[in-house]
Chain A
Amino acid sequence: MDEIKSQQVTFKLFRFNQETDYIPYYNTYVLDITHEEVILDVLNRIKWDHDGSLSYRRSCRHGICGICSIKVNGKAILACKSRLFDLIEVFGTELTIEPLSTKRALKDLIIDKEDFWNKHEQVTPFLVSDIDENPTLETLVVPDDAEKLLEADYCIQCGACHYSCPALEINDRFIGPAAFAAAFRFAADVRDDASLERLHVVNEEAEGVWDCVKCMECAEACPKDVNPIEKITKLHNMIFQAGIAKNNVATRHAVGFAHSIEKHGLLDEGELVRYSEGNIGVLKHMPEAFEMWKNGKIVLPWNMPKSKNLDEVKKLIQSSSTVKF
């Protein structure tokens, strides 16, 4: 048997009761923890030995119900899965335990997840299929088709990615990584009949995939390796492939890269902004562009650098393009 290692850790614990408190506060506990303990063990010890009023959600204790997700030093985790010793390795021996979203706290670590469920509802997170209620045969999905889901069905709806997404923090209309992953999960399902409707939902300005900032926080936060950003990229691709990409600043921003690369190999930054924004929209960038030009940061069209062997790039763009806009 392994030798039991122990370590003294200071826990700063977020406390708040929406019914009685005006602002949150933190309680500090110094505990000796052992190498086999997870964060949930610590919460239980604090509740059972120190303060019975501490509130948090817990259920399966097997990393599958997704209810015990909280943040430790800003990192979203499942309390039942995260070993203290792993967290100490990253953050040292002072750990701050907070709810997934401090602004949505109801009581201590319990948050109101209504926004999370509303976003899910927006993408029709279930299979839409006109099925025979008394089938004589199974509806088989061959392994190749099952793999198209890219394990998006592993999502346990813990909210770790949703409450780690900075775009969502600022723009509450944004659908967010968890619901996007759900949208992909069903849109990529060969049995589903509502893929196109779902793609239209995630194609909306301000709400849809186009407002993703590409920070990769969702991929990092997910305890089940669902990799939501990968699904968000796939949804972008599917929107173009389905031919429903609108002609707007976001889509032109993506397509403009192909045009620019074909012409120069490198990106023509000024032309990309003009192409994306249009001749009138581009005017709002003029004050900044002028500042940049004054400081030698704007390459004028006749000085645009080009990649060497540009003919190779042109040829590859011709032969390897898979979509049209």
Chain B
Amino acid sequence: MEKLRYALYTGCTARESTPELLKSTLAVAEKLGIELVLLDEASCCGASHLQDYDDFLSLVLNARNICYAEKLGLTMVTICNTCQLNTAMTKHRLDTNPQLKAKVNVKLAEVGLEYKGTSEVTHFLYAIIQDYGLENLSKKVNVPLSQFNIAPFYGCHNIRPSELQNLSNGGENPYNPTSLDDLIIACGGNNVDYDAKNKCCGFHAELQSPRTAAVLTGNALSGAMDANADWMVTPCPLCHLKLDVQYHSASKAIGRDVKLPVLHMPQMVGLALGCTPAELGLQHHVTKVNFV
């Protein structure tokens, strides 16, 4: 197989509150022989909050990020669902609206850049599944996760709105997504099914609507626990922050003690590939990963 190369847009969390995500992403890429070129020039995607404040500014900044992937001639991979949404949304809006694209390019020209629309944007989860292939991945698994019941938590911004996401996620249906389940199976694990797997974790309303956010987190954790999961896995660091760090407020909000270890998608793949806990940054979790 030809060596896979991507431009990696880390987003902010992977460089701050979830350092284990960046670490495990790089570790897994190395094990699989995937080359990731870090886009150090990239800025924050706005997380759909800058979009609420200043839509045009968010388009310009996200277009600038994509420009740097275009300069490398590479597909951009994201490791955060919300980065994926906002970057892919920017790309889609600019690619389908020449006037808007021209307006954004007037601004980008001030810093010597031009958005062309030549780079695709996809989440690392889908790059692994579609480009690397689950069959190839299974062949590399040397520590199958067969003793674990693993609850997939998809995260809204990889699966909705499907009209946008289906451009990069292989046509995943938001009401019955399968990619993360397939990945768990490819790693030798047992995927568990539960209602909240494709629901919202509440992250984006945490500050202004803490109760709503906490109940949603609680529902996700308790759903996974009821499905007899040993741990959860998510492709989104924002979901991870909610599920891993906020179990106190979640438990209080739903009146039940809910707590489960939660792994980032690349951490799970890394475990199956034989990476050490330190290589995957497992020591950074607030809910301790007590099974390795």
Residue from the list B107, B108, B173, B213 in contact with A213, Cβ < 8 A = B213
Contact bitstring B27-68, A, C-beta under 8 A = 1, else 0: 000000000000011111011111111111100110010000
Q: A295 near B60 (CB under 8 angstroms)? A: no
Asked whether B216 lies within 8 Å of A313 as measured between CB atoms, the reply is: no
15 other A-B residue contacts (CB within 8 Å) besides A312-B64, A320-B56, A325-B53: A166-B202, A211-B208, A213-B212, A214-B204, A215-B200, A217-B160, A227-B161, A236-B52, A236-B53, A237-B55, A257-B49, A257-B50, A267-B44, A291-B286, A317-B57
Q: How far is the CB of A88 from chain B (nearest CB, A)?
A: 11
Question: Does A216 make an interface contact (CB < 8 A)?
Answer: yes
| Docked-complex contact A297 and B12, CB < 8 angstroms | no
- Return chain B residues, CB-CB under 8 Å to A273: 207
* In the complex, the 4 A-B pairs of residues with the closest C-beta atoms, listed nearest first: A216-B160, A215-B200, A236-B52, A250-B208
Say yes or no: A277-B52 contact (C-beta < 8 A), given A219-B161, A261-B43, A321-B57. no
B143 within 8 A of A: no
Q: Which residue of A171, A254, A320 is within 8 Å of B209 (Cβ)?
A: A171
Bound together, the chains give a CA A140 to CA B108 distance in angstroms of: 38
Q: Take A90-B176, A237-B55, A322-B54 as given contacts and tell me if A276 and B111 are in contact as well, using a CB distance cutoff of 8 Å.
A: no
Q: Is the CB of A266 within 8 A of B246?
A: no
If A236-B52, A313-B61, A316-B61 touch, whether A265 touches B44 (CB-CB below 8 Å) is yes
Shortest A293–chain B CB gap in Å is 10
Give Cα A239 to B52, complex, Å: 9
Contact with B along A308-319 (1 / 0, CB 8 A): 110011011101
B40 closest partner in A (C-beta):
A308
Q: In the complex, are the beta carbons of B215 and A91 less than 8 A apart?
A: no
- Chain B positions within 8 Å of A219 at CB level: 160-161, 163
Interface readout for B160-204 with A: 1 if CB under 8 Å, 0 if not?
111100000000011110000000000000000001000110111
Interface size on B, residues (CB 8 A): 65
Some 26 contacts from A to B, beta carbons below 8 A apart, are A75-B175, A90-B176, A170-B212, A213-B200, A216-B161, A217-B160, A220-B160, A220-B174, A237-B53, A254-B50, A266-B43, A269-B16, A269-B17, A277-B207, A288-B248, A295-B286, A296-B283, A305-B16, A307-B43, A316-B57, A316-B110, A320-B57, A320-B60, A321-B57, A322-B55, A323-B54
- Answer whether residue A104 sits at the interface, using C-beta atoms and an 8 A cutoff: no
Q: How large is the interface on A (under 10, 10 to 19, 20 to 34, 35 or more residues)?
A: 35 or more
CB of B138 within 8 A of chain A?
Answer: no
Cα A299 to Cα B283 with chains together (Å): 16
Contacts A291-B245, A320-B57: A213 and B202 contacting too (C-beta < 8 A)? yes
Chain A residues near B (Cβ < 8 Å): 73-75, 90-91, 166-167, 170-171, 174, 205-206, 210-217, 219-220, 227, 229, 233, 236-237, 240, 248-250, 253-258, 260-261, 265-267, 269, 273, 276-277, 287-288, 291-292, 295-299, 305, 307-309, 312-313, 315-317, 319-323, 325
